[in-house]
Chains A and B, each alone.
Chain A
Amino acid sequence: MKPVSAWGLLSSDLHDVRVLTDRGQVASVITQNTQGLALGNGRSYGDVCLNPNGYLWHAVGLNKFISFDESSGRLVCEAGVLLRDIQRLLVPRGWMLPVTPGTQLVTVGGAIANDVHGKNHHVFGTFGEHVLSLSLARTSGEVLHLDWSTEPDLMSATVGGLGLTGVIVRAELQLRRVGSPWMQTETLPYQGLSEFFDLADASEQDWEHTVSWIDCLSGPTLRGIFIRGNHISQDQANTQKPSRMTLAALQRKSDAKSLTMPCVPPVSLVNSLTLKPFNLVYYQLQKFKTGLSMAHYESFFYPLDNLQHWNRMYGRRGFYQYQSVVPRQSGQEAVQAMLDAVAASGEGSFLAVLKTFGDRKAKGMLSFPMPGVTLALDFPNRGERSLTLFAKLDAIVREAKGRLYMAKDARMSRELFEVGYTRLSEFVKHRDKGISSAMSRRLMEY
């Protein structure tokens, strides 16, 4: 038994960890009398990847590629392969994952189980849309080979299924072409939510990637930074004069050795004293980049991957991420109400990310994205004070007919879960009875 924490560092309970290494043996390893759960690289924030006092089947040992077809871009690999390893191998050959989240240090299995999304949701949807087939080991001992045409229901339950339908052993992914590792980017400061929505709508046509960062302490004249990007070819990268740095310098920057947060400080470094200056400095630094520029894909998509263990900066008690999505009609109002509630509470968030989702129907029964707008906020864990604020935010989300992201959640109520995820009753029929997580026990029957 050893202590295991999720990325939010909110708990550190003992788990019986079994490393999966042989894809032919997974079904026999998980056929146990006690319930277990697959764990990927542990980058989900709350309790979706935890199973205190039970088995955790650690999938990082399933890290082999199986085949890659250079002409069609179809990759078959084991479920513990990191998205980073796929991209570092295949971007130089002109192929990239169509969808990646804000970190590439997640496994393929974890990306499927949480049906993750990225900055290009309006173009490529979620990760699950690009999974062509997968192998699922069940605790009954069988291994099922699923695709969308033969087993549409079980596929739809497994994509975004929080690992509860079985252990994903292998997946076949459709990659997309890219001409180079380079991105053209544009940074635009904005004020107020209306301006944000105008920018987001105006960018949908011509820009593949859009995201924005807001300073939620900036009061009624909300200030934010809107960032958009497109992939460009090597020729375009060579001919376009980079505004501030040469390609070689950008490459060096992306290859730079990562920094590590060496220890967990006794108190959160993000607190009422540091937050305002943090946000102000960050805003000014970003604002300085206003205009067109170029970036390496790794620094554009995964800026925090180079700061190892950044989650430690929130101190010993860990932190919550509160990520909601609300439909577009009520979106602006709901986001404003949430930001007002945060401001009124005196709790602040360093990383506040605001992004619109495209008008696409998610493939998974429990997938998070819906057409609308998503807001992600990070809060140091301050016990009751944090939970009181979340209760207020929950009320706004429920009123707006939105929902919370399971990959981030550690505390939502069963009721909010049930009204947000309307396909739940369909989903539970596909669960593997030998699999259970701290989250599934909190929000479902077992």
Chain B
Amino acid sequence: MQHIVIVGATSTIAEHCARLWVQAAPVRLTLVGRDAVRTQRVADDLRVRSPRSDVKVMTTDFVDAADIAQLVSAIVSQSSVDVVLIAHGLLADQVTCQDDVLVCDAALQVNGVSPVLFAEAFAKSMVTANHGTIAIIGSVAGDRGRKTNYVYGAAKGLVSRYAQGMQHRLAHTGVKVVLVKPGPTDTPMTSDLKAKGQKMAPVEQVAQDILKGIAAGRPVVYTPGIWQAIMLVIMHLPRFIFNKLNI
């Protein structure tokens, strides 16, 4: 059985990825979450969906480097990991981040530093085994800083640059690094945006794209695919035009 680790297993995107994985074939799943009760609920759901899968729950503090190191070594010492999906995130409100440097710090830690630490910790054992895929959920918000969400965007930008470097380092090995950039997705994290009438991609579709990208080992996965074109335009807009846009 494939061993898949999901960090941030209560995230809606991660949960839907897990559903697709167990639906395809029984797997060994290690779910990592912050909240034991909520992570356990995800595990129970997956066990009903796939009684022959082996689903384990672990909890940790997501912004404590020592805890992360300890947790990851506990996971890899039990059995080798085929895929790790690093999916946790928190869409912090930009205005609150500007007002309160503590909120800003928390947003940068959990969206930027934490995923990088998880990836680095898993990479060590994967490089030794010369096998495995590390998938990290970034965001289209990390492609160019915008006034409406640049703190979140900066954290995701950190993840992007990190993944890029990892891909360079591991280019000629059996370890693959997949950076996923979802556009706005219909999840509880974006329910405020949805209430404002913004179009959202269905989470089932995003999860399918992620699984395909992981299976193919694609370095960058925009989902839905249209966001690759949109971000290409946004990244190349001259500043005098960009600054006039209210995005």
A19 interfacial contact with B, CB 8 Å:
yes
A401 interfacial contact with B, CB 8 Å:
no
CB distance A2 to B48 under 8 Å?
Answer: no
CB distance B44 to A65 under 8 Å?
Answer: yes
Query: B186's closest neighbor in chain A, by CB?
Result: A19
Q: Chain B interface secondary structure, helix, strand, loop or mixed? A: helix
Given A2-B197, A89-B49, CB of A64 within 8 Å of CB of B42: yes
Residue in A21, A23, A24, A65 whose CB lies within 8 Å of B48: A65
Interface residues on A, range: 20 to 34
B195 interfacial contact with A, CB 8 Å:
yes
CA distance A23 to B44 in the complex (A): 14
A67 interfacial contact with B, CB 8 Å:
yes
B38 interfacial contact with A, CB 8 Å:
yes
B37 interfacial contact with A, CB 8 Å:
yes
CB distance A21 to B188 under 8 Å?
Answer: yes
Query: A18's closest neighbor in chain B, by CB?
Result: B191
Given A21-B188, A23-B41, A61-B188, CB of A66 within 8 Å of CB of B48: yes
Q: Which residues of A contact B197 (CB under 8 A)?
A: 2
CB distance A66 to B188 under 8 Å?
Answer: no
A22 interfacial contact with B, CB 8 Å:
yes
Residue in B12, B41, B51 whose CB lies within 8 Å of A70: B51
Given A2-B195, A2-B197, A22-B38, CB of A64 within 8 Å of CB of B45: yes
Q: Which residues of A contact B49 (CB under 8 A)?
A: 65, 89
CB distance A19 to B48 under 8 Å?
Answer: no
CB distance A67 to B48 under 8 Å?
Answer: yes
Q: Which residues of B contact A23 (CB under 8 A)?
A: 41
Q: Which residues of B contact A65 (CB under 8 A)?
A: 44-45, 48-49
A1 interfacial contact with B, CB 8 Å:
yes
Most chain A C-beta atoms within 10 Å of own C-beta, residue among B38, B45, B48, B197: B48
Least CB distance from B145 to A in Å reads: 29
CA distance A61 to B190 in the complex (A): 13
Q: Which of B24-74 contact A (CB under 8 A)?
A: 37-38, 41-42, 44-45, 48-49, 51
A302 interfacial contact with B, CB 8 Å:
no
CA distance A16 to B42 in the complex (A): 28
Q: Which of B105-120 contact A (CB under 8 A)?
A: none
CA distance A65 to B50 in the complex (A): 11
CB distance B195 to A17 under 8 Å?
Answer: yes
Q: Which residues of B contact A61 (CB under 8 A)?
A: 188
A68 interfacial contact with B, CB 8 Å:
yes
Least CB distance from A228 to B in Å reads: 33
Ranked nearest first, the 8 interchain pairs of A and B with the lowest CB-CB distance are: A65-B48, A64-B45, A21-B188, A68-B48, A65-B45, A19-B191, A66-B44, A64-B41
